[in-house]
Structure formats: C-alpha cells, structure tokens
Amino acid sequence: MDQEKEITQSKAETQDEILLAALKLFAEKGYFNTSLTDIAEAAGIKNTSIIYQHFKNKQMIAAQLYTDIFDSLNSSIDDIGRINQKSSEQLRGIVDLFFKLTDDAPDVMRFLLILKLNEFLPEEKPVLQTAAFVKIGKIIQSGINAGEIRNINPLLVNAYFFGIINNTLQSVLTGALDKKADAYLAQTWLTAWSAIARK
C-alpha cells in the first residue's frame, strides 16, 4: 500500500518541488516575470500540465506559499512567546529568527520582505493583519504597558523597530551588505531596540 511511495515520486513530493521551485523563482524574478513553464522546468517536470494536477492555477501556488510561510512564522512566534516573558526578550527572539531565516532560507525572507504580495495575491490579508504580525503588535503593546517601550503610537514603534531590522535584512538579501546577516545581528538589534526602548 505504501509501496508506490517508494517506487515513484509521491504526489506530495512533486507538490513540494513545485512550491520550492516557485518560491525560488518568485523571490528571484518576481511573480509576473515567472511563467508556469519556468516553474515546471525548475521543478524538473516535463510540462506545465502536471502543475494543474496539484494546483488550480498559478495564483494558487503563490497562495499556498503564503499560507505555509505565514503559518510557520506564526507558530515560531508562539514558541518564542512560550519561552520568553518580557517584550524585549520576545522581540529579541523574533529578530534572531529573522536573521537566521535570512541566512538559511533567503528566498523565504525575500517572499516576506521584498515581494509586493498584494500585487498578485489581492485576496490575502496584508502582512500586518496576519496572525503572526498581529501577535507582534500585541508584544509591542505589552511592552508599552509594562514601561519597557516608549509610550508612543504602537504602529510607529513597529515602523521604527522593523524599519531598522527589515531594511538591514533587505540590504543583505540584495547584496548591498556583503556579509551574512548574522554578522550584523548584535549591532542591529541594539540599534533597533534602543530606538524604541524607554530611556
């Protein structure tokens, strides 16, 4: 019964390869510059027909990536929240995660930070309204309530903190900064935290 899984590539494996290839190409060239032919080729598939056995259309490939990535991010943030209490510690955990992802899974971070998702996924929630980022908003709000973070508009706090973090990571992802993200972690964390911490 499980035998077929051994002999030929399982359905799930093919699907993963399509998703992986699509992620890579979207991150590299953008959604609109990537054709289904490109994806099939990069996934080691003979032609585009196969893709339609796994996904309704091109957009649904992107939608699946969106779901996978934001779900995974959301559960990572849950983990971080379970381990840490203080807002500063939780934010630090998130920053560590973002820097690690930038080095280990740059295409995921390009999808998150660089692609304009609403251009090709107009139905999906904007990034700030996803479960993961709503949680980040709550972490910031607790930090303000606890007196750890400056008492200003939480959305401004978010803009300042992640402005520094994300712009630094974007510079790494585009090659403007030439070392691994990890090399800039300590200094960037300090700067970002100082920008929002209560003096």
Is 154 a residue that touches a copy of itself (CB under 8 A)?
Answer: no
Alpha helices in 114-153 (DSSP H): 117-120, 131-145
Contact residues for 158 (Cβ-Cβ < 8 A; gap 6+): 128, 136, 137, 140
Beta carbon nearer to a copy of itself, 10 or 153: 153
Indicate if the alpha-carbon torsion angle 87, 191, 158, 122 is positive or negative: negative
Task: Work out how close the CB of 81 gets to a copy of itself at its nearest, in angstroms, rounded to a whole number.
Answer: 23
Nearest to 197, CA basis, from 88, 118, 121, 113: 88
Per DSSP, 121 falls in state -
Point out which residues bind DNA (CB under 7 A): 8, 14, 34-37, 45-50, 52-53, 57-59
H or E segment and range at residue 170: helix 154-174
67 binds, among DNA, a copy of itself, none (CB under 5 to 8 A by kind): none
User: Between vectors from CA 91 to CA 87 and to CA 94, what angle results, nearest 5°?
Assistant: 145
Among 52, 159, 180, 186, binds a copy of itself (CB under 8 A): 159
Task: Work out how close the CB of 9 gets to DNA at its nearest, in angstroms, rounded to a whole number.
Answer: 8
85 binds, among a copy of itself, DNA, none (CB under 5 to 8 A by kind): none
Task: Work out how close the CB of 17 gets to DNA at its nearest, in angstroms, rounded to a whole number.
Answer: 12
Residues that bind a copy of itself (CB under 8 A): 29-30, 32-33, 114-116, 119, 126, 128, 152-153, 155-156, 158-160, 162-168, 170-171, 174, 176-177, 184, 187-188, 191, 194-195
